[in-house]
Amino acid sequence: MGIAVIARDRSVIAVIGSVGMIRRWAWAAGIFVIVLCPLGIAAAQIAPKPTQTQDARTTSSELAHQVRTEFLHAWNGYKQYAWGHDELLPLSRGYRDWYGTSLLMTPVDALDTMLLMGLTEEAGEARELIINQLSFDKDIEVKNFEITIRLLGGLLSSYQLTGDKRLLALAEDLGNRLLPAFNSPTGMPYVYVNLKTRKTRGAESNPAEIGTLLIEFGTLSKLTGNAVFYEKAKRALVELYNRRSKIRLVGSAINVETGRWTNTTSHISGGIDSYYEYLLKAWLLFDDPDCERMWKASVKAVNQYLADNVNGGLWYARVDMNSGKRNARRYGALDAFFPAVLARAGDLDRARRFQESAYKVWTAFGIEPEEVDYKKLKIVEDGYHLRPEIMESSYYLYFYTQDEFYRQMSATFFNDLLRACRTDAGYAALSNVATHQQSDRMESYFLAETMKYLYLTFAPRETVDLDKVIFNTEAHPIRKTW
């Protein structure tokens, strides 16, 4: 399938006319423009905003339509081969359940994407499946972090979008079952908790798993009126922040019982990444002044000690949290979340520069490897796990700059995904970006995040107003209704 590429030519940008034009464009593209409302989805109240020519509009509406079609292709694969299970196996056409029994990871993760895309029938089917089949009364030991960002986040956002109280009831039940994870001597959560027996395990954790809970637990408090969820997740975040080094950095592993760091390497990559994201977003979502203070001090330290200018590009290195001494020059696919966070915080200059570095990695290899040495531009880990972060950042940058360059980037990402990862049943990760060898995995975040951020980049700006909605780290949109 051929994808048109939008030229980077700001001179073609012109103010266009009326609300009616945008509506007609959206309608022709099969896009259902929706506005996130306190509870439920309202018909669009479209402000006359976009500044595009007819050509750019047509191209982006076509791309939005194609992304939606490809989302459906993957969802239909799930329906056909994995219905009722956690994940589709896109090569063997089977399914995978994370814990031997299903928690409906894919339907819960994908539901709000369907709602945003206007896939009403599919959303209805997924919602019924969730209401009828999802039970957390299971004797399984789950990862607190993953279940929080994917399931708790997904249930809360879908509740806000539909107003279906049964989704909130499921979220509250899940929240109560996860709460014992916080019962450590420091208040920082254990990695695992049994949903039935409430037994916990795993004292060795990291900043991402400890510090990426407040958006979901905090929202649960606001929506149920039970403050305990907010208090526990906030305490965990503060306890972690309080253990920062003298130069205000955190390490990559910490023991939640002793409170001691067991790995002092600092970076913005997997294992730390979304801790920073939640400091910023919890401040914005809850107007929490402690989070504001912690975010500002942390991002300053990251930009002071980790930022690394190499060959004219901005990168973020790995350094020792105590000395600031550089350990390695690595860029990972997960690091690509950072331009989005910087853009949301208003630092468009660093956001643009770091995204250009990320794009350079993607285009150097035709698709993004899991990890590279950015000085030598050499692969360290050669898989691609259908990750969304680089698309997330081009979406934020497009939203805040309206620079067509970012739509062009996202068109490249989409085109490369089609070329390398599409299978007859869905989309597959790659075990090797050079050979395009596919592996039998389609993580639920592919439908929750990767396809959502691609779609939103090409859909009308009003589909989601980034100034009013906070996406959790799994791309579940949360709206401040309190």
Q: In the complex with ligand DMJ, which residue's Cβ is closer, 452 or 461?
A: 452
Question: Which amino acid is residue 373, in one-letter code?
Answer: D
The minimum distance between CB 278 and ligand DMJ, in angstroms, equals: 10
Distance of CA 132 to the CA centre of its chain: 27
Q: In the complex with ligand DMJ, which residue's Cβ is closer, 211 or 460?
A: 211
Quick check: is 373 catalytic? no
Q: In the complex with ligand DMJ, which residue's Cβ is closer, 44 or 429?
A: 429
Tokens matching residue 347: 């630092």
Quick check: is 370 catalytic? yes
Kindly state the number of chain residues that form the binding site for ligand DMJ, as judged by CB under 6 A. 10
The Cα–Cα gap between 44 and 26 comes to 11
Q: Which position among 474, 476, 478, 479 is part of the footprint of ligand DMJ (CB under 6 A)?
A: 474
Looking at 86, 112, 216, 370, which residue is catalytic? 370
In DSSP terms, 307 is beta-bridged to 316
The minimum distance between CB 466 and ligand DMJ, in angstroms, equals: 17
CA angle 297, 302, 306 (to 5 degrees): 160
Residue nearest to ligand DMJ (CB): 473
At 83 the three-state DSSP class reads: coil
**Binding string to ligand DMJ for residues 124 to 153, with x set by CB under 6 A, is what?**
-------------------------x----
User: Taking the CB of residue 102, how many other CB atoms lie within 10 A of it?
Assistant: 22
Looking at 122, 239, 277, 389, which residue is catalytic? 389
Quick check: is 389 catalytic? yes
Determine if 350 is a binding residue for ligand DMJ (CB under 6 A).
no
Q: In the complex with ligand DMJ, which residue's Cβ is closer, 158 or 274?
A: 274
284-295 burial, b if ≥16 CB within 10 A, otherwise e?
bbbebeebeebb
**Binding string to ligand DMJ for residues 263 to 302, with x set by CB under 6 A, is what?**
-----------x----------------------------
Question: Which amino acid is residue 148, in one-letter code?
Answer: T
List, in order, residues 6 or more apart from 482 with CB less than 8 Å away.
Answer: 222, 223
| Residue pointed to by tokens 């593209």 | 29
* Interacting residues with ligand DMJ between 316 and 335 (CB under 6 A): 334
* Interacting residues with ligand DMJ between 206 and 265 (CB under 6 A): none
417-435 burial, b if ≥16 CB within 10 A, otherwise e?
bbebbbbebbbbbbbebee
Q: In the complex with ligand DMJ, which residue's Cβ is closer, 243 or 387?
A: 387
Q: In the complex with ligand DMJ, which residue's Cβ is closer, 56 or 361?
A: 361
Looking at 112, 122, 146, 449, which residue is catalytic? 146
User: Taking the CB of residue 215, how many other CB atoms lie within 10 A of it?
Assistant: 29
Which uninterrupted H or E stretch holds 349?
A: helix 348-365
| Residue pointed to by tokens 């500002």 | 296
Tell me whether strands 477-479 and 469-471 are parallel, antiparallel or unpaired.
antiparallel
**Binding string to ligand DMJ for residues 374 to 413, with x set by CB under 6 A, is what?**
-------------xxx------------------------
Q: In the complex with ligand DMJ, which residue's Cβ is closer, 164 or 277?
A: 277
The Cα–Cα gap between 192 and 259 comes to 17
Quick check: is 209 catalytic? no
Q: Which position among 305, 398, 445, 458 is part of the footprint of ligand DMJ (CB under 6 A)?
A: 445
**Binding string to ligand DMJ for residues 59 to 78, with x set by CB under 6 A, is what?**
--------------------
The Cα–Cα gap between 348 and 342 comes to 7
Q: In the complex with ligand DMJ, which residue's Cβ is closer, 273 or 308?
A: 273
List, in order, residues 6 or more apart from 139 with CB less than 8 Å away.
Answer: 194, 195, 196, 197
The minimum distance between CB 393 and ligand DMJ, in angstroms, equals: 12
Looking at 273, 288, 308, 335, which residue is catalytic? 273
Task: Give the helix, strand, coil percentages of the chain, each rounded to 5.
Answer: 50, 15, 35
Could you give the residue numbers annotated as active site? Answer: 146, 273, 370, 389
Q: Which residues bind ligand DMJ (CB under 6 A)?
A: 149, 274, 334, 387-389, 445, 449, 473-474
